[in-house]
Amino acid sequence: MNSLLDEKALLKQICIKRKDMYRKAKNFGLNHPIVVSCSQELDVLLNNYQKKVS
Protein backbone atom coordinates (compact mmCIF):
# COMPACT_ATOMS: atom_id res chain seq x y z
CA MET A 1 0.00 0.00 0.00
CA ASN A 2 2.79 2.41 0.89
CA SER A 3 4.41 1.74 -2.48
CA LEU A 4 1.20 2.69 -4.24
CA LEU A 5 1.08 5.99 -2.35
CA ASP A 6 4.71 6.66 -3.28
CA GLU A 7 3.91 6.01 -6.94
CA LYS A 8 0.91 8.35 -6.84
CA ALA A 9 2.98 11.07 -5.14
CA LEU A 10 5.68 10.70 -7.79
CA LEU A 11 3.11 10.90 -10.58
CA LYS A 12 1.73 14.09 -9.07
CA GLN A 13 5.24 15.59 -8.87
CA ILE A 14 5.85 14.56 -12.49
CA CYS A 15 2.64 16.24 -13.62
CA ILE A 16 3.47 19.45 -11.76
CA LYS A 17 7.06 19.53 -13.05
CA ARG A 18 5.92 18.84 -16.63
CA LYS A 19 3.43 21.72 -16.53
CA ASP A 20 6.09 23.97 -15.02
CA MET A 21 8.52 23.03 -17.80
CA TYR A 22 5.92 23.70 -20.52
CA ARG A 23 5.17 27.12 -19.03
CA LYS A 24 8.87 28.02 -18.82
CA ALA A 25 9.48 26.78 -22.37
CA LYS A 26 6.66 28.99 -23.63
CA ASN A 27 8.10 32.02 -21.85
CA PHE A 28 11.84 31.48 -22.39
CA GLY A 29 12.21 29.10 -25.34
CA LEU A 30 13.26 25.46 -25.36
CA ASN A 31 17.02 26.04 -25.14
CA HIS A 32 17.02 28.45 -22.20
CA PRO A 33 19.06 27.18 -19.21
CA ILE A 34 16.02 27.47 -16.91
CA VAL A 35 14.02 25.17 -19.19
CA VAL A 36 16.90 22.72 -19.59
CA SER A 37 17.33 22.55 -15.82
CA CYS A 38 13.61 21.94 -15.33
CA SER A 39 13.73 19.21 -17.98
CA GLN A 40 16.60 17.53 -16.14
CA GLU A 41 14.62 17.63 -12.89
CA LEU A 42 11.70 16.04 -14.72
CA ASP A 43 14.05 13.34 -16.04
CA VAL A 44 15.09 12.49 -12.48
CA LEU A 45 11.46 12.18 -11.40
CA LEU A 46 10.63 10.01 -14.41
CA ASN A 47 13.64 7.76 -13.74
CA ASN A 48 12.62 7.40 -10.09
CA TYR A 49 9.10 6.46 -11.13
CA GLN A 50 10.39 3.94 -13.65
CA LYS A 51 12.54 2.31 -10.96
CA LYS A 52 9.53 2.04 -8.64
CA VAL A 53 7.26 0.36 -11.17
CA SER A 54 9.87 -1.98 -12.66
pLDDT in tens, 15-45: 999 999 999 999 999 999 999 999 999 999 9
Reduce the DSSP state of residue 12 to 3 states and report it: helix
Residues 42, 14 contacting (CB under 8 angstroms):
yes
- Identify the pLDDT of residue 36: 98
How many domains are contained in the chain?
1
pLDDT band at 46 (very low <50, low <70, confident <90, very high): very high
CATH number of the structural domain spanning residue 24: 4.10.280
Residue 53 vs residue 12, higher pLDDT: 12
Question: Is the pLDDT assigned to residue 54 strictly greater than 70?
Answer: yes
For residue 33, the enclosing domain spans 2-53
